[in-house]
A and B are shown apart, each in its own frame.
Chain A
Amino acid sequence: GIQVEQSPPDLILQEGANSTLRCNFSDSVNNLQWFHQNPWGQLINLFYIPSGTKQNGRLSATTVATERYSLLYISSSQTTDSGVYFCAVATFTGGGNKLTFGTGTQLKVEL
C-alpha cells in the first residue's frame, strides 16, 4: 500500500515564528487532507488539497502531486497551534477513498 512520511516528527517554536511541515507519499493520490488533532483527540480539518495551493488565515498548504509531496505552512504561530498535525492520502486504486495517515508532526508553541 501507499507509504506516507511526515517531517519533522517533532517541532518546538517560539510564539510568532513560522514553520513548514512536509508530507511525502509514494503513489499517485486522488485525495490529500491535512488535519490538526487537538488534545482531546478530535481531528480538525485544515485542508482538502489533492493538488495546488490553498490558504486559510495564517495557514496555507501546497501539494505538488507530480512530485508526490505536500507542505503545510504555519505563520505567526500561536500557542493554540500546538498539537499533532497529520497528513492523510487516498489513492486512485484504493477502495472507497479510505485514508492512509502519516505518523504526524508533534508541534509545541511556547511563549
Chain B
Amino acid sequence: DTGVSQNPRHKITKRGQNVTFRCDPISEHNRLYWYRQTLGQGPEFLTYFQNEAQLEKSRLLSDRFSAERPKGSFSTLEIQRTEQGDSAMYLCASSPSGRPNTEAFFGQGTRLTVV
C-alpha cells in the first residue's frame, strides 16, 4: 500500500467554476477525513466518513461543498461556484476506527487557487 493518495496535486480555476478532488485512502482504513489548510494556519476539519456514511460535517463546509464516498473506498470533494476564499490546501486523511490505534495518515494534498 502506498499510503493516502490525492488528485490532482494542484488546481487553478476561475471564480465561479466547479472543481472536484479525489482521495484514495489506505485500503484497510474505514475512516476518511477531509481538512482544509490556509496559509500560516493548521489544518481544519471539514468532514469525515465511516465507510460510506458521512457522519459529521463542520460548519466550515458551506452548502457549496459536497463530499461523497460511494462505496466506502475513495472519496470526492466538490466545490461549486468557487470563490477566491476557497483558495487553500485540501488535505485528505484516513485511519482505522478500532482501538487501540486510531492513527491518521495524510495524503499530499490538493492545492486550489481560485483566480
Contacts and interface: CB of A to CB of B under 8 A. Distances in A.
Interface in A23-51: 30-31, 33, 35, 40-43, 45, 48
Given A98-B56, A101-B43, A42 B101 contact: no
B42 A88 contact: yes
A93 to B, nearest CB: 12
Contacts of B104: 31, 33, 97, 99
A103 B40 CA distance: 8
Place the interface of chain B in its size category.
20 to 34
Interface stretch (B12-20, B62-70, B72-80, B105-113): B105-113
A90 interface: yes
Place the interface of chain A in its size category.
20 to 34
B95 to A, nearest CB: 6
Contact of B102 (A42, A95, A97, A102): A97
27 contacts: A4-B42, A30-B102, A31-B102, A41-B109, A42-B106, A45-B103, A45-B105, A48-B103, A86-B42, A88-B42, A96-B31, A96-B48, A96-B50, A96-B55, A96-B56, A97-B31, A97-B95, A97-B97, A98-B45, A99-B33, A99-B43, A99-B45, A99-B93, A101-B42, A101-B43, A102-B42, A103-B42
Interface of B: 31, 33, 35, 37, 40-45, 48, 50, 55-56, 89, 91, 93, 95, 97, 101-109, 111
Interface of A: 4, 30-31, 33, 35, 40-43, 45, 48, 86, 88, 90, 95-104
